[in-house]
Structure 1
Amino acid sequence: MLTIMRKNGVILAIFAAITTGLTAIIHEVTKPAIQAQKTLTKQNLLDQVLPSTLYNNNLQSSCYIVRNQELGDNTEHRLYIAKKNEKPVAVALETTASDGYSGNIKIIVGANFNGLIYGARVLEHHETPGLGDKIELRFSNWIHSFDNKKINKNHVSSFTVKKDGGDFDQFTGATITPRAVVNAIKHSTLYIQTLPKTISHLKKCNTNTTEE
């Protein structure tokens, strides 16, 4: 009986070793394809908020880390600097609307240093399905309301939802969500205008950060 148990144990150990080895091999073989897909997905998102005609550098390689309360919290946010012939011309900035109806709303904003917004997209949220989720492009074109809008510190009063006297539509039965997104994009765009003075001091993203 003991011999049979030992034999079965050896068989199980060999099987486990083979399975682990195969898993490791498959992981290594598929890793380049997975990374390529991540890179493609990230570039597609960046292209939605920054026209590729604006710049001629590798945008994903021009990734930096910023912290500022104007970005909704004090966590690290990724910033991609678009350059034309080595000169910074615009950025794509990941930001947070911390006052969403159901928690934080993660957003990416593309704008230049004069306050012109090229585009914005919602990256993550937990808003109410059928109401607050209209901030997502797959449910509504509302996020396109920010395309080609311009803002500066002397012209902010109209950069809010119509219920608050501004230019942006709210949703029927849901004002908190669009208000939070509008405010986050406003503060982020104003923050972007302050960046030219600090770009040379920004911290570069590390490899793990850019692959997330």
Structure 2
Amino acid sequence: MSTEYTAVRTSIRTASILTLFAVLFTAAMALTYRYTKPDIDAAVAEVKRKLIAEVLAPGRYDNALLEDTITVLAPDALGVDEGSLVYRARKNGEPVALIVEARAPDGYGGAIDLVVAVGADGRLTGVRATQYKETPGLGDYIDPRKDPNKASPWIDQFVGRSTQAGSTATWKVRKDGGDFDARAGATISARAVIGATARALAYAEANQARLFDAKTGERLATTGGSAQ
């Protein structure tokens, strides 16, 4: 038996073993995913429910909120190029609130992702920062978990706010002539969140009827409602 023949047989055997290993590994991963996916999905849903409960009290709606969603393509207003998820809260079939994903591109440490809850009356019921890279101990007060003022977190000043006649002219920090407080030395973070929230609020108000009427799971390309 030639050396060349032996080498070929060895290569074939090695390739076969590797292929079998890859098939078995893939099958094992598929089975693991299949049996763990329900637990993963449930954990993700629970995180979403807890977050939404911070911006909209669960007692205010009775629909399956996590399922009553649409995706909107409105990067100019919401700052999310890939599309923003919108949750629609209803009670007895009537519109209660829209919970909109938005992004502030101009945070001190980079983009700040937000969820903005807008009631059917045009007033904010809550805002939360979901992802950010603001400086720990300085700009991260936009997150109530990091805000040292537990009794009155900075982010809570958005609750009950609306745009008067569609104008967001006063949606600025006080040092810029607006109505919002900001922490000394960390106004960039506040400006970013205020601006993104104002745009999301104006967008939700301008498109409220269409957003509530869209079919569940639909993707909409919408315009209008940017800050003035």
Measured against the shorter chain, the TM-score band is 0.7 to 0.9
Matches within 5 A, 1:20-169: 20-68=26-74, 69-72=76-79, 75-140=82-147, 141-153=153-165, 156-169=168-181
Are 2:95 and 2:120, in contact at CA under 8 Å, matched by a contact in 1? no
Which has the higher mean CA deviation after the structures are superposed, 120-129 or 44-53? 120-129
TM-score (norm: length of structure 1): 0.83
Gaps of 5+ in 1: 207-212
Identity of aligned residues (%): 33
Distance 1:66 1:4 in 2: 56
Moved more, 196-205 or 95-104: 196-205
Moved more, 105-114 or 67-76: 67-76
> Contact 2:95–2:212 (CA<8 Å) still a contact in 1?
no
Distance 1:149 1:128 in 2: 27
CA contact (8 A) 1:73 1:98 kept: no
Q: Which residue of 2 aligns with 1:190?
A: 202
Structure showing greater Rg: 2
Deviates more, 1:104-113 or 1:120-129: 120-129
Is contact 1:105–1:126 with CA below 8 Å preserved after alignment?
yes
- Equivalent residue, structure 2, for 1:210: none
Asked if the contact 2:166–2:202 (Cα under 8 Å) also holds between the matched residues in 1, the reply is no
Cα distance change, pair 15–91 in 1 and its aligned pair in 2 (3 A) = same
Greater mean deviation of Cα atoms: 188-197 or 114-123: 188-197
Gaps of 5+ in 2: 1-5, 148-152, 219-228
Does the 8 Å CA contact 1:95/1:184 hold for their aligned counterparts? yes
SS in 1 for 2:66: helix
**Residue 30 and residue 165 in structure 1: after superposition, are their counterparts in 2 closer, same or farther (change >3 A)?**
same
Kept in 2: contact 1:78–1:205 (CA 8 A): no
Q: Which amino acid aligns with 2:135?
A: T
Alignment match, 1:170: 182
CA distance in 1, matches of 2:167, 2:20: 70
By how many angstroms is 1:107 displaced?
0.6
Task: Encode CA deviations 1:105-146: one digit per residue, 9 max, x unaligned.
Answer: 211011213222111111222333332222122211322222
- Bigger CA drift: 123-132 or 54-63? 123-132
Cα distance between partner residues in 2 of 1:8 and 1:70: 57
Q: Deviations over 1:88-121 (max 9, x none)?
A: 1211011121222233221101121322211111
What is the CA–CA distance in structure 2 between the aligned matches of 1:86 and 1:116, rounded to whole Å? 20
Following superposition, the deviation at residue 9 of structure 1 comes to: 5.3
Could you say if the C-alpha distance between residues 174 and 11 of structure 1 is closer, same or farther in structure 2, counting changes exceeding 3 Å? same
Shift in Å at residue 47 of structure 1?
1.3
